[in-house]
A and B are shown apart, each in its own frame.
Chain A
Amino acid sequence: MKGHDDPGAGLRIVVAGIGSEYRRDDGAGPAVAAQVGELVDGVTDLGTIADPLDLLGLWDGADLAVVVDAVCSGAKPGTVRLVELDIASGPDPLGDASRTTSTHGMGLTDVFRLAQAVGTAPGRVVVVGIEGSDFAQGTGLSPAVARSVPHATRWVAELIGDAR
């Protein structure tokens, strides 16, 4: 956290929140990314990413990219999961979850593959999924998801600490 020694300062670490703060729980990713960017030294918050394709260019050269997104898997709202996006070793760990539900043509896994193909992919990509329940128009997270934000933030901070 801020003020602590930063033995891994040489690492470029980025955090991105995918989603829209105007679709309630879809704002969970940006909310966590903003807190991580504020609380953890030496981490670049890439801001709110609406389209995973926009990660291209922004995450180039990063040693670690943490991508936080709201998910809809049927789990209990507020459940936080971490998935290492290691596509070289087998099938897509995100499965259908990486399929885009927006108007854009590429999900996160395909964007990562594309970045690898052109040699700009981060060294590691970790996806943090927060189970949402309310994706209606409007601002503000549902209570369970709001409660999970500090928890997810701590988890990401620990992940970054371990990476360093």
Chain B
Amino acid sequence: MTEDSGGRRTIAVEGISRVEGEGSLRVDVRDGVVDGVALTIFEPPRFFEALLRGRQSTESPDITARICGICPVAYQMSACAAVEDACGATVGEPISALRRLLYCGEWIQSHALHIYLLHAPDFLGCADAVELAARDRAAVERGLTLKRTGNQLMETIGGRSIHPVNVKVGGFYRAPAQDRVAALAEPLHLALDAALATVEWVSGFDFPEVEGDYRFVALRSPGRYPIESGRIASSDGLDVSPAEFADLVIEEHVARSTALQARIEGRLDYLTGPLARYALNASELPDIARHAATRAGLGAVCVNPFQSIIVRAVELVFACHEALRLVEAYEPPEPAAVAVPPRAGVGTGATEAPRGLLFHRYELDQDGVIVAARIVPPTSQNLITIESDLRRVAQDGLALPDDELTWRCEQAVRNHDPCISCATHFLDVTVVRR
């Protein structure tokens, strides 16, 4: 342990690995007490909200998809929902179902990437996925199979696996043929087996005893686990529409970071993502996912952030099962998109990106041109809570030597699968012991 003569200790990570984007982390310890935690994001801000001003609202799905290579569908779906809300358009169930199927592909791809390549190495003492693959080739192959299946879904429905090109305001440019969608059933059956094996695998990891005091926020959609629509609920009783929620959320700039930090007006920080979705919607999971959760030892709510990897694996089971259900029920929507005539107005769209709630709000003029845009990604909403987690984890781990404490702090960040590029609005770690 490195401590100066004044009893101060600093843990610093100058570039946190295995997170999406770039940021750093500094923990200051004085006389055995953590007295400062700073998650600093230095990836350049990207000004997408300004970029949207003056553009046709119909361009928003393709422009905002470029914010992230991991969750482009989330951006597309929230953008479409916001524009359709502003224009007073609604899409029918067949289009909603196809959107949900596409979104399942993104959840499978993103969760498999995070569980196997970014997060699992933490628990197994591996520096990275390459080391993990050398030690447990079958596990990594399973993860890659899952990721590939997610990609297949996205290619079949979205036209390509990254930044799909088939999504438009109102629906899709073209509905995929029934036989092409039906061909997804076989890989999805294999993926479902792989997802169940994933839950069993990660539930055997050793988890630090940590309990977070979280205010969970997620979509809630009676009768189904939320993905592409719903009202917004919290663990302390909030139940509002996406538009009302957007009014409640305040984003603040902190000097050390290019990301905004969000909080709910009049309340403190909150957490979105798998832990929140599960806490607020576990009863909506299909039996196969609920039983997998029970076998893995999860209760109705999970507040150990390190066990988020189990919740994410349970969501993988859900996503594979849900995708199968949608594939088996698929009939090409006709037409593939509904007309969305432009009109002046304000619209909000909220969907569940793999790492949490993502909402867009657009103000349009009478020609459908975007006058103002606001995009609030999950990582911005989670940043304050991640810092709280870090404070707790660093305090609990002060007896650890610097290298182990640094590792533990990085893990505390990766628990929430932050997408720094989305939030840049990220990771190096510094712990200062004084």
Contacts and interface: CB of A to CB of B under 8 A. Distances in A.
B117 A106 contact: yes
Contacts of A47: 160
A105 B118 contact: yes
Contact of B133 (A51, A103, A104, A117): A117
B140 A105 contact: no
A54 B161 contact: yes
Contact of A51 (B17, B69, B422): B69
Contact of A103 (B129, B130, B137, B421): B421
Given A103-B20, A114-B140, A54 B151 contact: yes
Interface in A46-98: 47-48, 50-51, 53-54, 56-57
A108 to B, nearest CB: 13
B20 A113 contact: no
A104 B21 CA distance: 7
A7 interface: no
A161 B164 CA distance: 35
Contacts of A48: 160
Interface in B100-130: 113, 117-118, 128-130
Given A103-B20, A110-B128, A118 B137 contact: yes
Contacts of B129: 106, 110, 114
Interface in B111-166: 113, 117-118, 128-130, 133-134, 137, 140-141, 144, 147-148, 151, 160-163
Q: How many of chain B's residues touch chain A, expressed as a range?
A: 20 to 34
B21 A103 contact: yes
Interface string A102-126: 1111100010011001110000000
Contact of A104 (B51, B69, B130, B137): B69
Interface string B411-431: 000000001111000000000
B144 A118 contact: yes
B19 interface: yes
Contacts of A118: 133, 137, 140-141, 144
Contact of A105 (B18, B133, B134): B18
Nearest to B72: A50
Given A105-B117, A117-B133, A118-B137, A56 B144 contact: yes
B162 A57 contact: no
A131 B78 CA distance: 36
Given A105-B20, A110-B130, A57 B421 contact: no
A136 to B, nearest CB: 12
Interface in B8-60: 17-21, 51
A22 B194 CA distance: 36
A103 B118 CA distance: 13
B145 to A, nearest CB: 9
A103 B420 CA distance: 8
Interface string B284-299: 0000000000000000
B140 A103 contact: no
Contacts of B215: none
B163 A50 contact: yes
A114 B140 CA distance: 9
Nearest to B17: A105
A51 B21 CA distance: 13
B384 interface: no
B66 interface: yes
Contacts of B161: 54
B68 A22 contact: no
A114 B130 contact: yes
B70 interface: yes
B117 A103 contact: no
A35 B301 CA distance: 54
A22 B421 CA distance: 18
Interface in B208-234: none
The 10 nearest A-B residue pairs measured at CB = A117-B133, A103-B421, A50-B162, A113-B130, A103-B20, A57-B148, A117-B134, A103-B69, A114-B130, A118-B133
Given A105-B20, A113-B130, 16 more contacts: A22-B66, A50-B69, A50-B162, A53-B113, A54-B162, A103-B68, A103-B419, A105-B113, A110-B128, A110-B129, A114-B133, A114-B140, A117-B140, A118-B137, A118-B144, A137-B51
10 contacts: A47-B160, A48-B160, A50-B163, A51-B162, A54-B161, A102-B69, A103-B70, A103-B421, A114-B129, A119-B137
